Chain A
Amino acid sequence: MAKRLLEIRSLDVHYGDAHVLFDVDLHVDEGAIVSLVGANGAGKSTLLKAVSGLVAPTDGEIRFRDRSIVGMAAQEIVGIGISHVPEGRGLFAQMTVLENLELGAYPSRQRPRMRESLARVFELFPRLDERRGQKAGSLSGGEQQMLAIGRAMMANPSLLILDEPSLGLSPIIVRTMFELVRTLNEQGMTILLVEQNIHQALQVAHHAYVLQTGHIVMQGSGPALLEDPTVRKAYIGSLA
């Protein structure tokens, strides 16, 4: 059996008075692509934010490599190997492509490796190399998403969290994005993916969870969920 990289148990999250996540259990095995799907407002982004330390859970446990990470600050969590690419990419728009990437290697253990990491990211995304001196805000949507992922890769994570990487991209670029997710995974990267593009997200996933108003209502292998009539009816609709 594959090693468990991330384990979430009985997680509850509140925003003020609003109860957003209820008793959520989820795990990610090393080397897997795990997709988390569900409607808007189901709590998908909140779950990711709880993992990366941006949101403090009210109850429950989050363990990474068998070590509790609840209560750690976001800037410490990236240092132990979890990189979170937020929804909307969160680039430093006024800074250059190169500066964005350099900041990706900010954690102290990554700084000495900056040169190698940069070479690796440029090999993966030659387009970023061509545009290294350009401001991030001037890139196209697809390039911005590449930069956001490239910046996360600069921290040499063992878990890459992607929140809606295909949001706002044209269908062709969306396909490229999912190919990229597969490629990264084939190179050994473990990926936790949140997507509104449910069909693609389930196709690419080894394991998937369906989140509905803060509850995990279903889980299984990607292909199995894709065939499930309830999932098809509720989320894929006419797309299927």
Chain B
Amino acid sequence: MLEILSPRLVGELLVNGLLFGAMYGVAAIGLSLIFGTMRIIFLAQGAMIVLAGYCAYWAFALLGVDPYVTMIALLPVSLVVGAAIYQLLFRRAAAIEDKNTSLLIAVGLMFMLESLMSVAWTPDPRSITTTYTATSFDVGGMPVSITRSIAFVVALVATALVTLFLKRTLIGKAVRAVSENMTSSMLVGISPHRVNMVAFAVGIALAGVAGCTLASTYAIDPYFGFLFSLKALIALALGGLGNVGGALAGGLLLGVIESGSSFFIPGWGDAIGYLVFLLVLMFRPEGLFVRSVKKA
């Protein structure tokens, strides 16, 4: 077994893991933002990702539009859709102390989206094959898929943009403030509804980005979303809640863990991912990359 552990193999597993993990990371950042302000795990995130994936698929299949063009076009749409989801579905529930209502709405939304997509587009897996899908380039004798690399770069850019938004704009700072202390946020004049809406808008925009990159790399089906939400949740647990860089790092790490474990113990990739999830929650619930800062 050991003789097959060549540097090249390790390199391939690592690169594959990192490239796929980047998408987990983007999904996790969306979850993290919504969790930060709303205090719920938005379980429908994966279904939103798959929905965006279908948009990319149909735009390509029917109109020949490149999935990355669809991604750009979806950005403004998904911001509006995210804000609308908050206003229509969550606004009332967000005012209730008990967060279970909001969580159930997210679960209901997820199942509804899955069923609708299944009825509208059949449960068959769909994938996008562009002229460059099969292309790969060479890094030190190792073939690296071009679509996965684009997905990776897109994930980095998305993370950087969200970080800039949170650090440089007043409304972004307000999102961080609410994640830290809701009462103080209200006392300085921040409206929780406004911030929740912004978090949803950005979170769903990230789902749009993740969906288009996902569809350009992998086959999607209507029920893939729940699994993706769970993966994002694991990434979030690894990276620590309320930390954009950590969420991306958690996604990358999960990607590597999965790619490694599914190579060495075929079929066990998911199970090992969930095991890591449980272990982290049991022993490092604050995440792997968080240095604890004392509370004021």
A binding-site residues for B, Cβ under 8 Å: 52-54, 73-75, 78-79, 83-84, 86, 89-95, 99, 102-104, 106-107, 110-111, 135-139, 144, 151, 155
Contacts and interface: CB of A to CB of B under 8 A. Distances in A.
B176 interface: yes
A53 B186 CA distance: 9
Contact of A90 (B174, B181, B190, B294): B181
Contacts of B293: 93-94, 135, 137-138
B187 interface: yes
B296 interface: yes
Chain A CB within 10 Å, residue with most, of B189, B190, B192, B294: B189
B136 interface: no
B246 to A, nearest CB: 12
B183 interface: yes
Contact of A73 (B170, B183, B184, B191): B191
Chain B interface size, under 10 / 10 to 19 / 20 to 34 / 35 or more: 20 to 34
Given A75-B191, A102-B170, A137 B295 contact: yes
A118 B181 CA distance: 22
A104 B296 CA distance: 16
A83 B296 CA distance: 19
Contacts of A136: 296
A36 B174 CA distance: 32
Given A78-B188, A106-B189, A137-B293, A111 B180 contact: no
B180 A93 contact: yes
A128 to B, nearest CB: 14
Nearest to A76: B189
Given A102-B170, A103-B173, A92 B181 contact: yes
B176 A93 contact: no
Interface in B164-194: 170, 173-174, 176-177, 180-181, 183-192
A106 B174 contact: yes
27 contacts: A73-B191, A74-B186, A75-B192, A78-B189, A86-B183, A86-B187, A90-B183, A90-B184, A90-B187, A91-B296, A92-B177, A92-B184, A92-B296, A93-B180, A95-B173, A95-B180, A99-B176, A102-B170, A103-B170, A103-B173, A103-B190, A107-B188, A107-B189, A136-B296, A138-B293, A151-B188, A155-B189
